[in-house]
Structure 1
Amino acid sequence: MDIEADVIEFKVPTENNKTLFIWDILPTLPEAFIYESICGIFSGFGALYLVKVCPNAAVAEPGFYAIVKYYSSAQASKAQRATDGKSLFQESPLKVRLCTRQNPAFSSEVRPLSNSKCQELANRYLGFNGWSSRIITRNAVPVLPCCVKLQDLSGGDDGCSDTETQALALKFGCIVELAFPPHRSTCRGVGVAGESFQNLPDHLEVCLKRGKLKKWAKDKAMVDAFRNVLLVLLSNGKVAVECRFDPDQVLPDEDLKGLLKVNDVTWSGCEGAGEDDLLSELSLDVSCLS
């Protein structure tokens, strides 16, 4: 018997064949009930990146529609076939279709998942014991007592203050290694977060900034490591892990020399940052779905 395989990457799914549009949802149902019902039913076919429930436009009949986004096109297709025309959680049948049109420029853009989404996806298919992460110390850079494993890359010797200009620059780097013991695979990622201040802030503000920047550096390193991981879902129910080789990948500890290629993240880009639901870029041709 031939075994089919479906590959899942740790990136935001944008393809049409991974997105379902659900409508003809009755207006008498509470929105929270609709959301929970859709999550429960459609997550049975595979991991969900997004579920969104919205009221119909004012020009349409009262009711709701929903958008469900999968990481896997095969799982989205299976869910569509199994649920279209079924009542599911209400008395009347629902219409479920794959999205038919999307912004071409947006669909070609590759966006990494957030750290929380990466971990959620890994836990879904590998289990909590199927993978692990650890922070690796860069021996080539002096480690300050307050940064044990997250490296302080700031320019000054004492935490980077410039007494002449009364400016402060904070920058932290982190190297993370992901391990998948059942699959004997590992990969690494690097993250850097930094910010410069024109006026020297007080000690408490500096401590808060340092803590948040170190967290962002670790999160970026986790995301950078996960981008090299592929989950291979086999039709027999098993999951394989492949780690792609990156020529710029972080080398083993004894080979760490010189500078590493990293993504520099400013504090302004980190503060308040969140993963967009990306629905503003999604265009649905409803006329073709009836």
Structure 2
Amino acid sequence: MSILKIAIQKSGRLNEDSIQILKDSGISIDNGNDQLKATATNFPLEVYFLRNSDIPQYLIDGVVDAAIVGDNLLVEKGRNIQVVEKLGFSKCKVSVAVPKNFNYNSITDLNGLQIATSYPKTVSAYFKARQVEIDIHQISGSVEIAPNIGLSDAIVDIVSSGSTLFKNNLKEVEVILKSEAVLAVSPLISDESNQILDKLLFRIQSVLRARKSKYILMNVPNEKIQEISKILPVLKSPTIMPLAEENWSSLHSVIEEEKFWEVIDQLKAAGAEGILVCPIEKIVL
């Protein structure tokens, strides 16, 4: 029987969210402490727990069929690796940062300076495209301390909240790229494994739709149903159920969470009352 081999980060910011999205997709994984490999009990899936920086090469070589990995890592190390879905978590930026006392006006201020980074290819391509010559000092881990100990004039590193930069007296001055976790596929994946991947992708997409949406219920005067229905961005059309109180109905719909606050005042102004917003576990289209 064919089995899909998927890699996720062994530890770090991507690990927990990667495991969670698989679990939310109905996949049970018995992963004990320090396991390098775990098999799902209810889906043809084998999970490899790998060092983050090694994952692109495992995909390229076909050792694993797919991976949940940061998009920034694929930009740096991936080639011929297809991204089939953006997963919406572990969002970050790969940014240029300089000491707070650096008088920065534009990227040309970095011309001829030394930049420490774990992303030499990404950095080289970015500065070359802007015709700025730099000296790259490649290091791994604790990149942000490089200017403080005289290893570099600036850095390029992952920025999430910016707290690490602040603690090291650095400021962000350029964003090279924005990144998030993605589901990536090996160019050597077999047809059998690709069929399993399609089933996994279907599940993941159902989870992602639900994470972005909310189930909304409200009491509406019957004469306002049409007006309120036009306000709501819905999958197709709202569900209408009569209430015990005459000339009133309960209107049910699905709304994108980010759009809710845009329309809430309109709903209330149009006569909606008792508005409830509930989480959704899955949306299957």
TM-score computed with the length of structure 2 as normaliser: 0.25
Q: Which structure has the greater CA radius of gyration?
A: 2
TM-score computed with the length of structure 1 as normaliser: 0.25
Between Structure 1 and Structure 2, the one with more helix by share is: 2
